[in-house]
Amino acid sequence: MKYSLLLAFVCFLGNTSLAQECNSILLGQVVDFHDNTPLDGATILITGKQNTSFTDFDGKFKFENLCNGVLELEIFHPDCKSKFFTIDMQGDLFQKISLEHHLEELDEVKVLGDVKKNTTSSQEERLSQEDIEKFSGSSLGDALKNITGVSSLNTGANIVKPVIQGLNGSRVLILNNNVRMQDMEWGEEHAPNIDINANQNISVIKGAAALEYGGDAIGGVIVLNPLPIARTDSLFGKTQVNLFSNGRGGNITSEIVKSYESGLYIKAQGSLKRLGDLEAPEYILSNTGIRENNLSLNIGKRDFIQGWEAYYSFFDSDIGILRASHIGNVDDLITAINSPQPRIIEDFTYDITNPNQEVTHHLGKLNYYRRFKGLGKLSLQYDFQLNRRFEYDNRIGEDAGKPSLDLQLTTHTFSPTLQIDAKENLHLKVGLLARFQTNFPNPATGVRRLIPDYDKSDFGVFVLGDYELSDNFKIDAGLRYDFSNINAEKYYRITRWNERNYDEDFGNLITDIVGTQYLTNPVFDFHNVSAMAGFQYELNENQLLRFNYALSQRAPNPAELFSDGLHHSAARIELGDLRIKSESSSKLSASYELASKTWGLVVAPYFNAIDGFILLEPVDAELTIRGAFPLWVYRQTDALLFGIDVSLYHNWTSQLKTDHQFSWVRGTDQTTNIPMINIPAANLNNRISYVHPTFHELTVSLESQYVFEQNRFPPNITVFSPEQQQDVLLEINTPPAAYHLLSLDIGAKFSLFKPEDLSVGLRGTNLLNTNYRDYLNRLRYFVDDLGRNLSIRLIYKY
């Protein structure tokens, strides 16, 4: 009995002691790791107990009557993943807990319409996923023409360079998976070395507002990125096959993705393309086939705190150049311009012979990011590019089979950036750029090198910011400085050196005399400053105003400085100028945007004044050992471009929709008061679409494209004809007539093994087989553009 009383007494003392210790208070606050803002509505649960608390507007919570000891908390929030947190209670305690808010972005693949824009105040448009699939077998430039204000500069159908609001080449930057492409973009017949199938998120930023990517984006920036991969255990992919009647070939592209809940992912993508000779409405375009092989590999790990990515892509193409365009002398060009048909028409073949281009491009990227609590995100990136270009001429004898141009461009880039977004309404981004590039023109070609050996070093620093003044008013601004150094070794014929009057200004560059040539060492430094500022104002939930001013400066590229000789694939002599300085652009752009369920409108005027604009234009003909060729010369002038882009849509019913786009740009050489060369003609595009959602999501679209005649162009030139032994007018600048094209696209979805896993499409372009020539196609001197093309696409998702 006494033992029972003793035991009861001990238990009583123990319970009394415990009761005295279970009076501690836990106060806490749950905040966003991203910007340290309080998180309202979070749930805090003490595991193993029934105690539950909720955060208030300030993110604060409270537990009372807690016993001392180790407690485990589980925190929930609708926009966050659950987090377990262990604390050691020894009396009253205040604990601040950070949750990885916005972590849901790592667990979903957003549709394109919801993807955040790259800028606030500038004009930006995206390609839809449907358009990317429609142009899977075409070039990037062809697909981008679906965006208002974007046209293309073509060398036939396979070499297509984007033109944004009248500007192209080095003035248009292309970002491939956050890597700026370095693929000799200065050549009019150098297409971007990009497989459109490797990226599903493609947008165009018009103008130089995106200073993060480069201050020299006077024309604009094309941003291509793959869609984010969900943080989940999955295995999925897609294969698309396209067959074409024009060219009698097609392409196949396939990708497969393996992802894990940990954030690790692996993606592989590849494509093959084979086309034979293309066809105009009335004849074969001999030697216009293409062979293309592309591969990309991506592995990485995405987490909220940190992540990394390794990316590699390989692009390989062999492109035939229209044989009829390979002129032997200026008389050939005169004959070609005056003839309704090409001078060479052969039977259809899949063979690609001279003249042709062979291009390979390797791109590698390593990226690492880490988030810092209450500060932002630091990203470090290194990328490497190797671009190899061969251009083949019709050569005979011992030189047969040798390329006339053999260039190797190697680029290394390191670019750290820090995104500061700890404050809810203010976001800043600062970054550095260090790039080294070397160009090696192989002298084994036996042909005078068009572009010399050079080393190029670039350094840049930028700061960007956007601030939300209110729920409907945002402003953004940026400043960037770029330094470029070019160190070249170049041979000049003494006669050319004297003809250009270089001796007076650049006599100190001569390092040696080799026969009839000077060996020179041009070294140039360029200091460029770029800036932008603008705002976005929401009039209401359906209407938006944007305004942007951008000052951008672009250093001349090596072709503009050093070109000196026959550019074989272009069949012309090109001359650069050592006196060329940086361009400076001042651009004002605005847009009014309206979007509702029934209709939408975008009106976007712009005004661009460019001091020291660098242009390439024909001035004469020059005699070489190959014959007489047109002479194209780089020069600087002051230019003025202004225009407007308009797009309109109307949903007549839930099944019937119309889309309309109009673009117009006017360019004038202010120095001579004459129109600028290669300015796109005004164009009007219309589309009517019908969708039958209950019958395999059948979609039928009829598209109309009307391109006006360009009635503003520089004067033609007079050249001496060796055949006629007199001066003749060479109508090299006269634009062709206006034209109208019709296209039809039909698509439907079917279920094989999963719901709607098979998509089938039929597309027809130039349905009426119209004869036409486009002003910005440099083969317009020789042949009509493409005739009717029927294509079939099959897309299987697994």
CA dihedral 724, 726, 729, 732 (to 10 degrees): 60
Q: Tokens for 181?
A: 């492409």
Q: Flag whether pLDDT at 31 surpasses 70.
A: yes
Q: Flag whether pLDDT at 293 surpasses 60.
A: yes
Q: Read off the pLDDT band of 99 (50, 70, 90).
A: confident
Q: Flag whether pLDDT at 355 surpasses 80.
A: yes
Q: What pLDDT, on the 0 to 100 scale, is given for residue 423?
A: 81
Q: What pLDDT, on the 0 to 100 scale, is given for residue 569?
A: 66
Q: Flag whether pLDDT at 337 surpasses 90.
A: no
Average of per-residue pLDDT across 492-496: 92
Residue 653 identity: T
Q: Read off the pLDDT band of 157 (50, 70, 90).
A: confident
Nearest to 793 by CA among 304, 419, 243: 243
Cβ–Cβ < 8 Å for 324, 288: no
Average of per-residue pLDDT across 497-512: 93
Q: Count CB neighbours of 724 within 10 A.
A: 10
Average of per-residue pLDDT across 543-567: 92
Average of per-residue pLDDT across 246-264: 95
Top-confidence residue, 376 or 602? 602
- Among 38-42, 553-557, 641-645, 699-703, the least confident range: 38-42
> 91-105, 230-244, 568-582, 613-627 — which one is most confidently predicted on average?
230-244
Nearest to 643 by CA among 736, 712, 699, 704: 712
**Topology of the domain covering 224-797:** Maltoporin; Chain A (2.40.170)
CATH number of 106-223: 2.170.130.10
Task: State how far the Cα of 573 lies from the Cα of 622, in Å rounded to an integer.
Answer: 8
What pTM was estimated for this model as a whole?
0.87
Top-confidence residue, 101 or 696? 696
Q: Flag whether pLDDT at 11 surpasses 50.
A: no
Q: What pLDDT, on the 0 to 100 scale, is given for residue 350?
A: 97
Domain boundaries, the chain: 2-101, 106-223, 224-797
Average of per-residue pLDDT across 360-382: 94
Cβ–Cβ < 8 Å for 552, 587: yes
321: number of CA atoms within 13 Å, CB side?
A: 23
Q: Count CB neighbours of 365 within 10 A.
A: 20
Where residue 184 falls (left for φ over 0; alpha for ψ -120 to 50; beta otherwise) is: left
Exposure pattern of 307-333 as b/e (b: 16+ CB <10 Å)? bebebebbbbbbbbbbbbbbbebbbbb
Q: Flag whether pLDDT at 76 surpasses 80.
A: no
Q: Flag whether pLDDT at 679 surpasses 90.
A: yes
Task: State how far the Cα of 86 lies from the Cα of 11, in Å rounded to an integer.
Answer: 29
Contacts of 283 (CB under 8 A, 6+ apart): 341, 342, 345, 783
- Among 115-119, 254-258, 326-330, 352-356, the least confident range: 115-119
Q: What pLDDT, on the 0 to 100 scale, is given for residue 101?
A: 58
Exposure pattern of 262-273 as b/e (b: 16+ CB <10 Å)? ebbbebebbbeb
Average of per-residue pLDDT across 194-200: 91
33-61 pLDDT, tens per residue? 766 678 888 888 887 777 788 888 788 99
Question: Strand 543-554 vs strand 583-595: parallel, antiparallel, or unpaired?
Answer: antiparallel
Element (H, E) at 612: strand 599-624
Element (H, E) at 312: strand 306-320
Contacts of 725 (CB under 8 A, 6+ apart): none
512-521 pLDDT, tens per residue? 999 999 999 9
Q: Read off the pLDDT band of 176 (50, 70, 90).
A: very high
Average of per-residue pLDDT across 334-356: 89
650-663 pLDDT, tens per residue? 999 999 999 999 99
Q: Read off the pLDDT band of 627 (50, 70, 90).
A: low
Task: State how far the Cα of 187 lies from the Cα of 389, in Å rounded to an integer.
Answer: 12
Q: What pLDDT, on the 0 to 100 scale, is given for residue 5?
A: 47
- Among 79-93, 473-487, 561-575, 635-649, the least confident range: 79-93
60-74 pLDDT, tens per residue? 998 888 888 888 888
Q: Read off the pLDDT band of 209 (50, 70, 90).
A: low
Q: Flag whether pLDDT at 12 surpasses 50.
A: no
376-429 pLDDT, tens per residue? 899 999 999 999 999 998 777 777 788 988 999 999 999 999 999 878 789 999
Q: Flag whether pLDDT at 462 surpasses 60.
A: yes
Residue 761 identity: G
Average of per-residue pLDDT across 224-249: 92
Q: What pLDDT, on the 0 to 100 scale, is given for residue 102?
A: 52
Please check whether the domain covering 2-101 is classified as CATH 3.50.30.50.
Answer: no
- Among 60-64, 82-86, 677-681, the least confident range: 82-86
Q: Flag whether pLDDT at 78 surpasses 80.
A: no
Q: What pLDDT, on the 0 to 100 scale, is given for residue 177?
A: 94
Q: What pLDDT, on the 0 to 100 scale, is given for residue 208?
A: 65
Q: Count CB neighbours of 493 within 10 A.
A: 15
Task: State how far the Cα of 734 lies from the Cα of 243, in Å rounded to an integer.
Answer: 36
Any long-range contacts for 339-348 (C-beta under 8 Å, 24+ apart)?
341/282, 341/283, 341/783, 342/283, 342/285, 342/286, 342/782, 342/783, 344/286, 345/283, 345/284, 345/286, 346/277, 346/284, 346/286, 346/287, 347/284, 348/248, 348/276, 348/277, 348/279, 348/284
CA torsion through residues 492, 733, 205, 253, sign: negative
Contacts of 682 (CB under 8 A, 6+ apart): 662, 663, 664, 665, 707, 708
Contacts of 25 (CB under 8 A, 6+ apart): 62, 63, 64, 66, 92, 93
Helix (H, G, I), strand (E, B) or coil at 101: coil
DSSP single-letter state for residue 21: H
Average of per-residue pLDDT across 763-790: 95
Residue with tokens 């003793």: 6
Q: Flag whether pLDDT at 14 surpasses 70.
A: no
End-to-end CA distance of the chain: 77
- Among 191-205, 455-469, 615-629, the least confident range: 615-629
Top-confidence residue, 119 or 334? 334
Q: Flag whether pLDDT at 172 surpasses 70.
A: yes
Average of per-residue pLDDT across 484-488: 97
Average of per-residue pLDDT across 312-329: 90
Q: What pLDDT, on the 0 to 100 scale, is given for residue 6?
A: 45
- Among 128-137, 296-305, 395-404, 684-693, the least confident range: 395-404
Question: Strand 172-176 vs strand 220-225: parallel, antiparallel, or unpaired?
Answer: parallel
Average pLDDT, the chain: 89
Contacts of 499 (CB under 8 A, 6+ apart): none
Q: What are phi and psi of 315, to 5 degrees?
A: -125, 130
Helix (H, G, I), strand (E, B) or coil at 786: coil
Nearest to 638 by CA among 703, 586, 591, 702: 586
